[in-house]
Amino acid sequence: MEAVLKKFVEGAQTILGDNLTGVYLHGSAVMGCFNPKVSDLDLIIVVQYQVTPQAKRAIMDMVVSCNEMAPRKGIEMSIVTREVCAPFVYPTPFELHFSVMHLNWYLAAPEDYIAKMNGTDRDLAAHFTVLRQRGRCLCGEPIESVFARVPEEAYMDSILGDIADAKEDIPEDTMYLTLNLARVLAYQRDKEVLSKSEGGRWALCNLPKEYHSLIRDALQEYESGAEVTYDVKCAEKYAEYMLARIAEGCPSLAR
């Protein structure tokens, strides 16, 4: 992981030069639950001003090269301008984004990718929140001087987006949604920003015992990468239960 991060930072510094404010690491790699079998590397690049198409192309080529060295789930990266970080803007505009799911698009049509891969991303509210609490500055200005506090309502809206379709999606994405539903409820009740592992452990202490087997299976898959056979009916019932509990504290979700 450190070799990938070193190459990424050196590439960003070379390409962006004086435009670079900093490179920041968030996600499982800073939350004590990184597993190369199931985790990706989550990175934010902050720039002073908008990035040219030529620089975006160079950044993308660098990211693709780093992605070849990365864990199985690869790199997830966003570039944002400093002006959207403080004061925080929501939904947050981004200059460029990459994740493994977009790799084939970039390889097949790089000019099209560069032209279209921009806009706003609600997920950045969650990423910035984790950065402020537990992130790591890989180069550049300190986190606290770059990222303003994310308002609670923006963070909550961001994490709700990840679980909005949980009832329909949990049979196919059981591990992720089991743990993510738990950390959404944990934040709603206790205002704790948790990793997936921490969310699962919170759930074992706070949720009915009928769901403990499912939660333990999800933790086993997430922490060890082991293949797990889930009780799909239990998972669907769990999703329905969790969405109902979350909706109790979130009227907009209940509607």
- Supply the CATH number for residue 110's domain: 3.30.460
Is pLDDT above 90 for 72?
A: no
Tokens 């030069």 belong to 17
Same domain, 140 and 157: no
Q: How many domains does the chain have?
A: 2
Distance CA 176, CA 174 (A): 6
- Per-residue HEC secondary structure of 61-124 comes to HHHHHHHHHCCCCCEEEEEEEHHHECCECCCEEECEEECHHHHHHHHHCHHHHHHHCCEEECHH
| Domain closes at, from 94, 129, 149 | 149
Same structural domain for residues 139 and 49? yes
Q: Which domain holds residue 160?
A: 153-254
Q: How far apart are the first and last CA of the chain?
A: 43
In this prediction the pTM is: 0.93
Question: What sign has the CA pseudo-torsion 165, 167, 170, 172?
Answer: negative
Question: pLDDT of 15-47, one tens digit each?
Answer: 999 999 999 999 989 998 888 777 899 999 999
Confidence band of 95 (pLDDT split at 50, 70, 90): very high
The answer on 73 and 15 residing in a single domain is: yes
